[in-house]
Structure 1
Amino acid sequence: MKVKSTSVGVVGRDRSEPDLRWARRWGVPVAWLTLCVVWSSTWLVIKIGLRDLPPISYAGIRFLIAIVVLFAVSAGRVGLLPQRGFDYLLLAFTGVLMFAVNYGLLFWGELHVSSGLAAVLQATIPIFGMLSAHLMLPDEPLQLHKLLGALLALGGVAIICERLLGFNGLMAFWGGLGIIVGAASAAFSNVLLKSRNMRLAPAMIAAWQMIFGAAPLLLIGVIVEGNPLKFHWNTVSIFCLLYLAVIGSALTFLLLYWLLPRMTVARLQAISLITPPGAVALGWALGGETFSLWSLLGGCLVLAGVWMIFRKGEEAEPVIQEG
């Protein structure tokens, strides 16, 4: 009996060690690549879904589904509730900024601009975050290379907006500007949350922010866009909604927080540089979208500016750049 027991122990250990080696060798790159692919694809999926669904309700229902998935996966694993009353206020304020303002404007903006251009404009989040951090976080002062990167990126944004106004019409200009305002609100939300010490699992922080952000989206959607049961539901719109909620929100947040202790911040931040070109490529290949040379130049300036901000590899939090 003793020999048999020992044999089982050895077999169990032999099976677990290859699994651990596989996770170290392949799990991390697969998870990282998944984030790059999914966050590059969400912009086009939003655009396709907007053919049948109104933007505000589309965003609100997306996060309502994602909330259910995040709580279902996290139940029994981490604490689900904030510990202090002030935490609820902070989550409510940042949730409205991140999910109601940012995503409400993003979904509305994609009615008027291409999915690839929306991804490029959202890449300004770290620029606004850098400026907010300079004012709110004493240990993250504004440095010369960051300032130059911000100016370069904002120059690219100016080129894009000028082309939108001159060649795509006034609504395209306002759509692009709305996406930029949403990016600024998301950046401020991230910095404000970082400036406070909250004892809550990251996935639950995201879930509670979604709760407070989805509520105004759903309310405004019912008032302005009508009863969701009367929307033009079909296979494509349902697929887009479920893809964004389950894959584009819940799964990506869980993968991101799984990667945090296993990958350097610099490599995680690189996702924000890969996502916009990926979104442009998918929009061109699958969505029939086109980018003018001037818009491409503006997009390159934005990404170059973001790279300048990140190039020193400071230990800052990774930028969440999902559509």
Structure 2
Amino acid sequence: MRHLDIALTAIAPLVWGSTYFVTTEFLPSGYPVTMAALRALPAGLLLLVMAPRLPKGIWWLRIFVLGALNFTLFWAFLFIAAYRLPGGVAATVGAIQPLIVVFLAALLLGTAIRASAVMAALIGIFGVGLLVLGSGIRLDPIGLIAGVCGAASMAAGTVLTRKWQPPVPLLTFTAWQLTAGGLLLVLLAVFIEPPLPTLDARNLSGILYLALIGAALTYILWFRGISRIEPGAVSALGFLSPLAAVLIGWALLGQALTQMQIAGAALVFAAIWVGQRAARTRPSELLKISIRHPL
């Protein structure tokens, strides 16, 4: 059953790796926040129609916090990075996310820091670093900062999603977060971006793909994985996203794939394997450092 959980969860980052290709090839340039809103809100409203139930009590605040972390901030930074960096590079910047998750989970969930989990994160960072260095391209500082901020936002959202177990089915929980995050993105877009120009069929097809496949479907699988698998192990699967982005760039855009990048891809697979093994580490194999939640 665990292998099925891992396989289903892995579909999400594999699909997310295509975000960078779709953004640069199908969407109008210069509207990162608006595009993020058009990805999140329609998907959230569609799922809300399918699971018509509203939050109650403290869950109003929690849903907007999770929506902001998992979607509003994360996607805003993601689209900025996607516009300013080549697809493979933009995807690989998020490689620090699993390392952030390891320490945030220790702080907020009281989990012990596993040496193997830290090792998996470091191997993954090195692996995606090879993917970046192998591309031989110039990096944009603003794009890099946006990518790092997006990784930190999603890491916090991953840990808090596990901490705040929802009192509703998975479909409803996903609908709440997408809708809340989408509403916040709409407000942000109104204040910081110009009105959207007329969209053509290519633009609409890109938005439709990102909303239905890249949001509604994948986040149902992702939140399902978070509820069943340890956060560090789930986050390690995120390394599949930069790998998918690089392979898409090679297959569809004719971008070079060097031996160094192939070595980086091998390290990414190794990091994912170590990350899944880390979730099964025996207590005697844990680091002695353990940060307990103050409450």
Residue 250 of structure 1 pairs with residue 223 of structure 2: no
- Which amino acid letter does the alignment assign opposite residue 276 of structure 2? F
Residue 218 of structure 1 pairs with residue 189 of structure 2: no
- Which amino acid letter does the alignment assign opposite residue 64 of structure 1? L
Residue 206 of structure 1 pairs with residue 179 of structure 2: no
The runs of 5 or more residues in structure 1 that have no matched partner are: 1-23, 316-323
Residue 64 of structure 1 pairs with residue 3 of structure 2: no
Q: Tell me which residue corresponds to 2:24.
A: 47
Q: Report the TM-score when normalising by structure 2.
A: 0.77
> What SS does the aligned partner of 1:111 have?
helix
Matches of residues 118-129 of structure 1 in structure 2 within 5 Å?
118-129=90-101
1:109 Cα deviation after fit = 0.4
For the Cα contact (< 8 Å) 1:120–1:299, is it kept in 2?
A: no
For the Cα contact (< 8 Å) 1:120–1:302, is it kept in 2?
A: no
Identity %: 27
Name the stretch that deviates more: 297-306 or 145-154. Answer: 297-306
1:260 Cα deviation after fit = 8.7
Change (3 A) 1:161 1:279: closer
1:133 Cα deviation after fit = 0.5
- Which amino acid letter does the alignment assign opposite residue 55 of structure 2? P
Q: Tell me which residue corresponds to 1:146.
A: 117
Matches of residues 104-123 of structure 1 in structure 2 within 5 Å?
104-123=76-95
Q: Deviations over 1:30-58 (max 9, x none)?
A: 96786576344333212323444611110
> What SS does the aligned partner of 1:110 have?
helix
Change (3 A) 1:290 1:163: closer
Residue 280 of structure 1 pairs with residue 243 of structure 2: no
Change (3 A) 1:120 1:28: same
1:111 Cα deviation after fit = 1.0
Residue 87 of structure 1 pairs with residue 59 of structure 2: yes
For the Cα contact (< 8 Å) 2:98–2:236, is it kept in 1?
A: no
Task: Please give the alpha-carbon distance, in whole angstroms, between the structure 2 residues aligned to 1:143 and 1:105.
Answer: 29
Change (3 A) 1:147 1:36: closer
For the Cα contact (< 8 Å) 1:122–1:180, is it kept in 2?
A: yes
> What SS does the aligned partner of 2:83 have?
coil
1:267 Cα deviation after fit = 9.9
> What SS does the aligned partner of 1:311 have?
helix
Matches of residues 276-315 of structure 1 in structure 2 within 5 Å?
276-290=242-256, 301=267, 304-314=270-280
Q: CA RMSD in A?
A: 3.7
Task: Please give the alpha-carbon distance, in whole angstroms, between the structure 1 residues aligned to 2:39 and 2:180.
Answer: 14
Task: Please give the alpha-carbon distance, in whole angstroms, between the structure 2 residues aligned to 1:275 and 1:37.
Answer: 5
Task: Please give the alpha-carbon distance, in whole angstroms, between the structure 2 residues aligned to 1:159 and 1:267.
Answer: 22
Matches of residues 9-20 of structure 1 in structure 2 within 5 Å?
none
Task: Please give the alpha-carbon distance, in whole angstroms, between the structure 1 residues aligned to 2:7 and 2:260.
Answer: 35
- Which amino acid letter does the alignment assign opposite residue 213 of structure 1? G
1:244 Cα deviation after fit = 0.5
Alignment counterpart, residue 207 of structure 2, candidates 227, 237, 241: 241
The runs of 5 or more residues in structure 2 that have no matched partner are: 282-295
Change (3 A) 1:55 1:305: same
1:175 Cα deviation after fit = 0.8
Q: Tell me which residue corresponds to 2:138.
A: 168
Aligned length: 278
- Which amino acid letter does the alignment assign opposite residue 188 of structure 2? I
1:128 Cα deviation after fit = 1.4
Q: Deviations over 1:78-97 (max 9, x none)?
A: xx22232x211122122212
Residue 38 of structure 1 pairs with residue 15 of structure 2: yes
Change (3 A) 1:149 1:260: closer
Q: Deviations over 1:270-289 (max 9, x none)?
A: 85454432221112211333
Task: Please give the alpha-carbon distance, in whole angstroms, between the structure 1 residues aligned to 2:244 and 2:277.
Answer: 20
